[in-house]
């Protein structure tokens, strides 16, 4: 049987409470007491039983992070940032992968999985605003990312429309006129694809460029393969274009790979811009021009907001909506 706090107390000749104090950094303690406790801990190789602490204190010291996918560079980098920020605050992170499936996302929202965390940071991609409104979660929840779900929960958002506008405007200002909107979605739903598509349209409009429907590609999955396949299809169908705006970097990178495979020069024949500024884009050939969407900041703010919620005893303070800044990162693909 593993040693308990009572064992340590007995061996050190103090009470349980004093041992508890020791572990919780209670400052007032004689050095000699401290040393006796340390010796007892060492002797027994004692480890605090976290489950007991959790039950007793009503907290777990862990937060959940629910993302569609972990292998995707954007989410990998986001998760890294969240985990780091959490560790800095002494919080553990339980990662849940939803695969972007609505049912799994609903489980996250409603705690069906049996929560073992104090709060959740959650990037949904399949839920509707209604789903979110009807959430029954019992613990604090911070939404991040792509959709704007006004109201019930704190939210840290990506500047989808503004960023997409700038990306498109950059292509236009370099003289491109036939710009593929790769991964778009024409919808009223507050999805990333729809928001970024709106930004694209607005930039075209401002420049007085007509939007050719053959250049609108989507909805498709936002990964490299889909980007590459879509571009292959455009080429095969003889659609003419002089630029590709990949609504995320994965699409843009997949597109670029396919363009080059087909003998098209980037950026000479076709310019490419992405969105997200994942590390990978710095090392593609050519390096990918993209929109920095504030991943790091988002992760940090989300953890900060959640930590606040956990700290303040239940109370109101309304809900916070934060919008990340964005910035064009010019590299060689335009």
By CB under 8 A, name the binding residues for its own copies: 2, 45, 47-52, 54-55, 58, 60-62, 69-73, 76-77, 79-80, 83-84, 87, 92-97, 111, 113-116, 136, 138, 224, 228, 253-254, 256-257, 260-261, 279-280, 282-285, 287
Under 8 Å CB-to-CB from 147, ≥6 apart: which residues? Answer: 124, 125, 127, 129, 189, 190, 191, 192
Residues that bind DNA (CB under 7 A): 1-2, 4-6, 9, 13-18, 20-21, 23-24, 26, 28-30, 32-33, 48-49, 52-53, 55-58
Residue nearer to its own copies on the CB measure, 28 or 283: 283
Q: Residue 23 Cβ, how far from DNA at the closest point, in Å?
A: 6
> In angstroms, rounded to a whole number, what is the distance separating the alpha carbons of residues 193 and 186?
8
User: In the complex, what is the shortest distance from the CB of residue 257 to its own copies, in angstroms, rounded to a whole number?
Assistant: 4
Which residue number, 160 or 333, has a Cβ lying nearer to its own copies?
A: 333
What angle (nearest 5°) sits at the alpha carbon of residue 209, between those of residues 206 and 212?
A: 130
Choose among DNA, its own copies, none what residue 14 binds, the Cβ cut-off being 5 to 8 Å by kind: DNA
> In the complex with DNA, which residue's Cβ is closer, 63 or 244?
63
- State in angstroms the smallest separation of the CB of 35 from DNA: 10
Q: Which is nearer to DNA, 60 or 257 (CB)?
A: 60
Structure tokens at 83: 């985990």
By a kind-dependent CB cut-off of 5 to 8 A, residue 120 interacts, out of its own copies, DNA, none, with none
Q: Which does 26 bind (CB under 5 to 8 A by kind): its own copies, DNA, none?
A: DNA
Please give the Cα distance from 29 to 31 (Å, whole number). Answer: 6
- Minimum distance between the CB of residue 186 and its own copies, rounded to whole angstroms? 27
Q: Can you tell me the distance from the alpha carbon of 180 to that of 240, in angstroms, rounded to the nearest whole number?
A: 9
β strands within the chain, DSSP E: 62-67, 92-97, 119-122, 141-145, 154-157, 179-182, 216-217, 243-246, 271-273, 290-292, 321-323, 327-329
- Report the candidate in 173, 160, 252, 158 with the shortest Cα–Cα distance to residue 206: 173
Residue 326 pairs in a beta bridge with none
Residue 109 in contact with residue 131, Cβ under 8 Å? yes
Nearer to its own copies, 201 or 252 (CB): 252
């Amino acid at each position: 049987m593993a040693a308990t706090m009572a064992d340590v107390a007995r061996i050190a000749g103090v009470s349980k409470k004093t041992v508890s104090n020791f572990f919780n950094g209670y400052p007032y303690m004689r050095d000699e007491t401290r040393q006796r406790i340390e010796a007892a801990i060492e002797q027994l190789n004692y480890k605090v039983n976290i489950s007991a602490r959790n039950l007793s204190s009503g907290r777990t010291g862990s937060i959940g992070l629910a993302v569609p996918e972990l292998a995707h560079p954007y989410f990998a980098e986001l998760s890294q940032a969240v985990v780091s920020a959490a560790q800095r605050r002494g919080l553990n992170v339980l990662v849940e992968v939803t695969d972007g499936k609505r049912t799994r996302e609903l489980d996250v929202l409603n705690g069906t999985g049996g929560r073992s965390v104090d709060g959740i940071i959650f990037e949904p991609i399949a839920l509707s605003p209604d789903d979110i409104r009807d959430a029954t979660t019992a613990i604090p929840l911070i939404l991040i990312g792509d959709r704007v779900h006004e109201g019930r929960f704190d939210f840290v958002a990506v500047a989808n429309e503004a960023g997409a506008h700038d990306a498109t405007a950059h292509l236009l200002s370099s003289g491109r006129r036939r710009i593929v909107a790769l991964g778009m979605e024409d919808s009223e739903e507050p999805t990333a694809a729809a928001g970024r598509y709106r930004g694209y349209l607005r930039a075209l409009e401002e420049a007085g460029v007509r939007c050719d429907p053959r250049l609108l590609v989507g909805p498709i999955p936002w990964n490299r393969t889909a980007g590459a396949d879509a571009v292959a299809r455009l080429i095969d169908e003889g659609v003419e274009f002089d630029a590709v705006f990949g609504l995320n970097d994965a699409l843009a990178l997949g597109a670029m790979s396919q363009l080059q495979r087909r003998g098209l020069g980037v950026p000479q024949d076709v310019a490419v811009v992405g969105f997200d500024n994942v590390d990978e884009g710095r090392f593609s050939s050519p390096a990918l021009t993209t929109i920095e969407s504030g991943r790091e900041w988002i992760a940090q703010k989300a953890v900060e907001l959640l930590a606040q919620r956990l700290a303040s005893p239940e109370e109101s303070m309304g809900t916070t909506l934060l919008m990340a800044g964005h910035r064009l990162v010019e590299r060689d693909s335009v």
